Structure 1
Amino acid sequence: MNRVASTLLLLAALPAAPAFAQTACLPGTYAAPDGDFVVLVKSPAVPEPALRYLFRDGRRGATSDAGAPLACGTGEVSVQGRTWKPIAFRETPTTFDSVGTKMTGVLIEPPGALDAKRPLVVMVHGSERTSPIGGIYGYAMAAQGISVFVYDKRGTGGSDGEYTQNFELLAADAANALDQSRAMAKGRFGRAGFFGGSQGGWVAPRAATVTKADFVAVGFGLVASPIEEDREQMVSEVRAAGLGDDAVQLVNRLSQATGKLLLSNFAAGYDDLDAVRRDMADRPWAAAIVGEHSGAMARMPNDELRRVGRARFDNLELIWDYDALAALNKLDAPLLWVLAGEDREAPIETTRGALLGLAKAGKPVDVYLFPQTDHGMWEYTTGADGERQVTRITDGYLKLLGDWIKRDVRGAYGRAERLTPR
């Protein structure tokens, strides 16, 4: 066989080249003609050159994953054989002052003609220390035709100051961020307000009572104090383990004892804690109780709690008995609250009751629940050991947020259940 024939046979044995040649993916937001989109960003959790992706329907992963539902071309992506083009956002970095601290932010505006009716939303972060600037969620909101302001929480990213979880100070920062974004987008927006996720559910409503806001949207937040959050987590744990009311009563007592320690700066509550420890000593399940902080506190000796308890558990200026309902009672702006039906980190029972009470009292509150989702609106699978593995953001959540902010809610949003009347 001659060399030419051998080469032809070798080429024939190779798989055909794909119609859309795969190249290194470029960060950006890519849109389909029908308005669907995917956001690609760099992420510390994804080794370069791969990127994290998020579709509007909540599918997420890394571009390097086997079976990733997209292919990258030169400045565009292909999804199911269709080419999606990049969205050319207008991004304007800025700094602003908040309570004597220099903060760093970016205004993201959708392309196209100036629109004096376009909504503007300030993204109020949760307890994370990572920067939202360049993150996936701001672009996912902007891809839906909304101007978005993202900023680094004090003490993180490019913002000065000390990292804190003091809701009053964080609310002041959020309020100043809204004022800054309004000034930057003057003449190019209509209604303006906040979105807060998780801890942002404490901060965003309070911020809306500090400065004028036209709306507040919250995802998987709590209308309960941090102490109540800890108690509800422990109740959820014992209920999930199939335990009865006696176990619930014990973890309620544990929460009361640890709450007394926290509210007294670890000066009082040790006798109450010792009493609960004695009653829990013969309960095998007690060693597995976690909560937000009470499980760890119950397993620390009193002398250690006196010595380092405050440094370990109370070093971020958290307002342990924060009255979240009081802030909502002061709020006149329309409120959207989205609940994760199986939220282990922020159990929903107290929050759902409080929100439905506000709606019944005539407050402009819209409450939605996505069943079989955990904190973050994550769908999940459960292993034989009971541990959950997140899979994707539940379908409909991102679109509901965007449509509600645009005052264009219509149709179904995945499996969402509306809990308040229209």
Structure 2
Amino acid sequence: MKTNLCTAELTRTSALRGLGIATVVLALTGTGAVQAKEADDCEVGIYQLPDGSHIDVGASDDDRLRWRRNDGTTGALTRSEDGVWTSTFGWTERADGNQVTFDCRKDTITFAGVDGQRIALDVTDVVFDGAGVQLAGRLVMPEGDARVPIAVLVHGSEHSSALDSYSLQRQLPAEGIGVFVYDKRGTGASTGTYTQNYLLLANDAIAAVHEARRLAGDRAGKIGYQAGSQGGWVAPLAAKIEPVDFLIVGFGLAVSPLDEDRQAIEQDLTSRGYGPEVVAKAMEVADATAAIIVNGFRDGYDQLAKVRARYGDEPWFEHVRGNISFYLLDTPEATAREEGPAILSGVPAHYNPMPVLRNLDTPQLWILAENDSEAPSDETQRRLRGLAAQGKPITVAVFPDTDHGIYEYETTGEGKRVFTRNPDGYLAMMLDYIHNGYLDDRRYGTSTISTP
């Protein structure tokens, strides 16, 4: 939803029907540019079924919608000419047999033959001051006057609009937790230039906490961050600068961005059966790509060319992907020189998060994917458990057979992963931690939990 950025407070009403408002869906094109597509999304909202369970419906790509249940199951919805939406399983594009209809006048859904009613939420859209920019935000609260905890959602590295795409802005309020969500600078309806400067983004997150408290007033209980991926570097830094009551990090890292790339390269090769000798050679590739990144994509290409000449014909070389090295291996030098600085705009490549984590007393829940192909979690698990053993209030939960985003997956014949769902227990874990400050003794799906 494009807004007048000079307007301080746009709307405050539960009549927005659980965020069923006009939005702009943003999708990354192949070149990294952002395309805006208007979506008729009166269907967007969260619904309660007769058994008390919830189904969230949010905007997706290509004029589709996506439904999610609290147990982690999900599917994409495509509308037919007769107004019936058919569903596919996860992100597989296989039909799952579910058909869905909506009656926007009555705020109802019929999901697989079961009727549900939209849950009304108290919604406030706002524009607030970040660190030198104006940020478009939204406070979503459960209806009523009760004091509730509030989670401020901190982005990953995505360019898309959080206001349009984050389902937690409905899923958490439907479970008694307020949410403040905002478009990071340079995305969606926020001003400024897109950046991955963690300190700048941390200051924006702190401004979001202030705005959430202001808008919630007497209803604000404890307040903290829920952060995903790159937000795992940003949110702890923000919490160290200005304390909050809790911190949840999903699929984040306790290593530097360059170490993330190195660990991803190592995983690329060890998962295919290559041993230490080959991994050592691959680290020369990582060293070469790191030199280019650290030099702002201006220098270092000769070193990469020498490594490619030395190892390019060996069978393992084609499997070196990493988190950013693949781009430099696949992209002509002239193009990388031009595009690279924008792709990694502001990234502190050598940033070491450990000094912040060693000195952070905020209660933390880290939820990690055991088989994360983008952000390998083994070293992060080791470091976090080490901090917990030293008395830091860190709980670590690891879901097996999941990838980045805490997604379960199928592997195709070509070896590619296709996401199917979040694991059962993933959302429940966050709900319990925000409400209670700890995880209870029950098992959260298949996760393994280490408590301080």
CA distance in 2, matches of 1:299, 1:107: 42
Q: Displacement, 1:330?
A: 2.6
* Alignment map for 1:261-300 (pairs within 5 Å): 261-266=292-297, 269-270=300-301, 272-298=303-329
Aligned residues of 1:46 and 1:52 also touching (Cα < 8 A): no
C-alpha contact (below 8 Å) 2:278/2:316 kept by paired residues: no
CA displacement 1:141-180 (0-9 Å, x = unmatched) = 2222100000011111111001111111111111100111
Matched, 1:253 2:274: no
Alpha-carbon spacing, 1:84–1:169, altered in 2? closer, same or farther (3 Å): same
2:245 touches 2:362 (CA, 8 Å); kept in 1?
yes
Could you tell me how far 1:35 is from its partner in structure 2? 4.3
Deviation for aligned residue 1:322: 1.0
Q: Paired residue for 1:84?
A: 116
Q: Provide the residue aligned with 1:64 in structure 2.
A: 86
CA distance in structure 2 between the aligned counterparts of 1:30 and 1:313, rounded to whole angstroms: 43
SS in 2 for 1:196: strand
Question: Secondary structure of the residue that 1:209 maps to in structure 2?
Answer: helix
Helix, strand or coil at the partner of 1:284: coil
The equivalent residue for 1:10 is none
With 53-62 and 402-411 compared, the bigger mean Cα shift is at 402-411
- Deviation sequence 1:168-209 (CA, Å, 0-9, x none): 111111110011101111110211010001111111111112
Counterpart for residue 131 of structure 1: 161
- Matched residue of 1:105: which SS? strand
Measure how far apart 1:46 and its partner are.
3.9
Deviations 1:199-223 (A, max 9, x none): 1111111111222211110111111
Higher mean C-alpha deviation, range 395-404 or range 254-263: 254-263
Aligned residue for 2:175, secondary structure, equals coil
Residue from 180, 186, 190 that aligns with 1:159: 190
Query: 1:36-115, aligned counterparts within 5 Å?
Result: 36-47=53-64, 51-61=65-75, 62=77, 63-65=85-87, 66=95, 67-68=97-98, 71-73=101-103, 74-79=106-111, 82-112=114-144, 114-115=145-146
Letter of the aligned partner of 1:360 in structure 2?
A: A
Please tell me the residue identity of whatever aligns with 1:313: G
| Corresponding letter in the other structure for 2:336 | G
Where 2:348 maps in the other structure, the secondary structure is coil
Percentage of matched positions with identical amino acids: 39
Partner letter of residue 91 of structure 1?
V
Partner of 1:119: 149
Aligned Cα RMSD in Å?
2.1
Does the 8 Å contact 2:163/2:183 carry over to 1?
A: yes
Please state if 1:150 is matched with 2:181. Answer: yes
CA distance in 1, matches of 2:99, 2:359: 46
Counterpart of 2:354 in structure 1 is: 325
How far did 1:328 drift? 1.4
Q: CA deviation at 1:79?
A: 4.8
Question: Displacement, 1:64?
Answer: 2.2
Further displaced range: 202-211 or 151-160: 202-211
> Which amino acid is 1:348 matched to?
S
In structure 1, what is the equivalent of residue 22 of structure 2?
A: none
Matched-pair contact (CA < 8 Å) for 1:31–1:38:
yes
**2:388 aligned partner:** 359
Q: Is 1:199 aligned with 2:230?
A: yes
1:310 Cα deviation from its structure 2 partner: 4.2
Distance 2:302 2:57 in 1: 54
Bigger CA radius of gyration = 1
Moved more, 64-73 or 159-168: 64-73
1:10-66 alpha-carbon deviations (Å, 9 max, x no partner): xxxxxxxxxxxxxx982211124554211112323444xxx3211111111124225
User: For the Cα contact (< 8 Å) 1:119–1:406, is it kept in 2?
Assistant: yes
Residues 265, 133 of structure 1: alpha-carbon distance in 2 compared, 3 angstrom cutoff? closer
Residue 312 of structure 1 is matched in structure 2 by 339
Q: Distance in 1 between matches of 2:337 and 2:363?
A: 38
Contact preservation (8 Å) 1:87, 1:111: no
Please report how far the alpha carbon of residue 416 of structure 1 lies from its aligned counterpart in structure 2 after TM superposition.
Answer: 1.3
Q: Evaluate the alpha carbon distance shift between residue 310 and residue 207 of structure 1 in structure 2; reply closer, same or farther with a 3 A threshold.
A: farther
Q: Where does the alignment leave 5 or more consecutive residues of structure 2 unmatched?
A: 1-40, 78-84, 88-94
TM-score relative to the length of structure 1: 0.86
Q: Does the CA contact (< 8 Å) of 1:119 and 1:192 recur in 2?
A: yes
Residues 241, 55 of structure 1: CA spacing in aligned structure 2 closer, same or farther, 3 A cutoff? same
Q: Structure 1 residues 399, 46: CA separation in 2 closer, same or farther (over 3 Å shift)?
A: farther
- Pick which of 79-88 and 239-248 moved more: 79-88
Cα distance in 2 for partners of 1:53, 1:278 equals: 49
Question: CA offset at residue 250 of structure 1?
Answer: 1.3
TM-score (norm 2): 0.81
Contact 2:163 / 2:181 at 8 angstroms: preserved in 1? Answer: yes
CA 1:71/1:265 → structure 2, altered by over 3 Å: closer, same or farther? closer
Relative to its length, the structure with more strand (as a share) is: 2
The whole-number CA distance in structure 1 between the counterparts of 2:112 and 2:297 is 59
* Aligned counterparts of 1:81 and 1:68: Cα–Cα separation in 2: 9
